[in-house]
Amino acid sequence: MQGSDYVAVRDFELDIEAGEFFCLLGTSGCGKTTVLNMIAGFEPPTSGRIEISGRAIEGPGADRGVVFQGDDSLYPWLTALGNVEFGLRMRGLPRRDRLERAQHYLELVGLEGQGHKHPPELSGGMKQRIQIARVLANEPQMLLMDEPFAALDAHTRAAMQRELIKIWRATGKTVLFITHDIDEAIILATRIGVMHAGPASRLKGIIDVALSDAERDRTDDSFVGVYRQVHAMIRDEVAKAMQRSQ
């Protein structure tokens, strides 16, 4: 943070494997968005190092696609298709290739036939699909997702979670997904990193989620087992965060 001594994250160490779906779970104000912003290259770390495939991160780049929580990152003056091909246009791809690829990813996120519409005409879930397609069209190494479904209603969120798993399988991208929702983390992740409550937060522990598709169901016994494990780890942090906010 500029002009203040506030330390959001300290002594944070994490290795994310290529192709894995990593959920960073934490209470509000624990600095999880700061971690994502540093990996995205939006904020430089005051000390320490962030690398992707051995290269140090020095700023934002097309190798890391970011999906934001709200829809204010979309361009309302462009169509859905225009939004999806934006990165390709910036990077100078010929028009035909651009449109082909944008069209492909619009279909992948389930927006075929909606490409001509502008974001304000679309629902919250559809707008998040545009964001995902926009990032995928750029074919980054890694997807950085900052609570992308937090503003959606429960049914849309559940549908989007299922879709995201499908997309992740189909593309094999590495995903870093930020959330404060334990259920969401267990449904999506291959590994869950739990953060301490802020400020000066760090990683408390990592839990492997070795569940099959059928087991990624809130009513399944193995799901509940993982839930207990995660909950035991985050319970005290929630209490701390609650105390601080009072």
Partner 1 sequence: MRGAFAKLSGYVLGFGSLFALWHLASVYLLNSILFPPPLRVVAKAVELGKDGTLWENASISLQRIGLGFCFGSLIGIPLGLAIGSFGLVRRILEPYTEFLRFIPATALITVAVIWFGIGEGSKVFLIIYTTVFIVIINTAAGVSAVAPNKIRAARSLGASRTQVFQYVALPATVPYILTGMRLAMGNSFVTIIAAELVAANAGLGKMIWDARLYMLVDQIFVALLVLGLLGFTADRLFRWGIYAFAGRFSPVT
Q: Which residues bind partner 1 (CB under 8 A)?
A: 40-42, 59-62, 64-66, 68, 70, 72-77, 86-87, 89-91, 118, 134-135, 138
The letter for the amino acid at 10 is R
Minimum Å distance from CB 32 to partner 1? Answer: 17
Q: In terms of CB distance, is 2 or 243 closer to partner 1?
A: 2
What are the strands, taking DSSP E only, across the chain? 21-25, 51-52, 55-56, 64-67, 142-146, 174-179, 191-195, 203-208
Judged by beta carbon, residue 120 or residue 172, the one nearer partner 1 is 120
CB of 93 to partner 1, least distance (A): 10
Nearest distance from residue 131's CB to partner 1, in Å? 8
In whole angstroms, how close is the CB of 30 to partner 1 at the nearest point? 21
Assigned token pair, 99: 């449109």
Specify the residue, 68 or 227, whose C-beta has the smaller distance to partner 1. 68
Smallest gap from Cβ 84 to partner 1, in A, equals: 10
Tokens of 97: 């290739």
Least distance in angstroms from the C-beta of 203 to partner 1: 24
Nearer to partner 1, 8 or 187 (CB): 8
Q: Contact, 116 vs 106, CB < 8 A?
A: no
Nearer to partner 1, 26 or 65 (CB): 65
Angle at which helix 124-137 crosses helix 154-171, to 10 degrees, equals 10
| Contact by Cβ (8 Å): 98, 159 | no
What DSSP string describes 21-89?
A: EEEEE--TTSSHHHHHHHHHTSS--SSS--EETTEEP-S--TTEEEE-SSSTTS-TTS-HHHHHTHHHH
Question: Distance between CA 215 and CA 212 in Å, rounded?
Answer: 5
Nearer to partner 1, 148 or 207 (CB): 148
The most distant pair of C-alpha atoms in the chain lies apart, rounded to whole Å, by 56
